[in-house]
Structure 1
Amino acid sequence: MNFKNFFGGQNKVQADNDGAQTVQIKVDHGYEPDTVSLKKGVPAKLVFHRLNESDCLAKVQSSELGFKKKLPLNRDVEVSINTDQSGEFDFACGMNMFHGKVVIR
Structure 2
Amino acid sequence: MPFFSKIIKPLLALTLAAAVLSGAQGCFKDTKPMTESSAAATTAQPAAKPGEPRTIALSVTEKGYEPSPISLKQGEPVKLVLTRTTDNTCATEIILDEYNINTPLPLNQPVEVTFTPNKTGKLVYGCAMGKMLSGVFMVE
For the aligned pair, the TM-score class normalised by the smaller chain equals 0.7 to 0.9
1:1-105 correspondence runs (5 A) = 9-14=41-46, 15=48, 18-29=51-62, 30-54=64-88, 56-95=90-129, 96-105=131-140
CA deviation vs aligned residue, 1:32-90 (integer Å, no higher than 9, x gap): 11211112222111111100113512111021232001000111111112222212111
Q: Secondary structure at the match of 1:69?
A: strand
Equivalent pairs, count: 97
Contact 2:77 2:115 in 1 (8 A): yes
Larger helix percent: 2
Cα shift at 1:92: 0.8
CA deviation vs aligned residue, 1:4-53 (integer Å, no higher than 9, x gap): xxxxx534533268521111111002011121111222211111110011
Alpha-carbon distance between aligned partners in 1 of 2:96 and 2:137, rounded to the nearest angstrom: 10
Larger Rg: 2
Q: Secondary structure at the match of 2:82?
A: strand
- C-alpha spacing 1:21/1:51, structure 2 compared with 1 (3 Å): same
**What TM-score results when the alignment is normalised by the length of structure 2?**
0.61
Q: Secondary structure at the match of 1:56?
A: coil
Contact 1:27 1:52 in 2 (8 A): yes
Alpha-carbon distance between aligned partners in 1 of 2:57 and 2:139, rounded to the nearest angstrom: 16
Q: Secondary structure at the match of 1:78?
A: strand
**What TM-score results when the alignment is normalised by the length of structure 1?**
0.79
Name the % identity. Answer: 31
Alpha-carbon distance between aligned partners in 1 of 2:87 and 2:60, rounded to the nearest angstrom: 10
Structure 2, unmatched stretches of 5+, are: 1-40
Contact 2:42 2:71 in 1 (8 A): no
Larger strand percent: 1
Q: Secondary structure at the match of 2:138?
A: strand
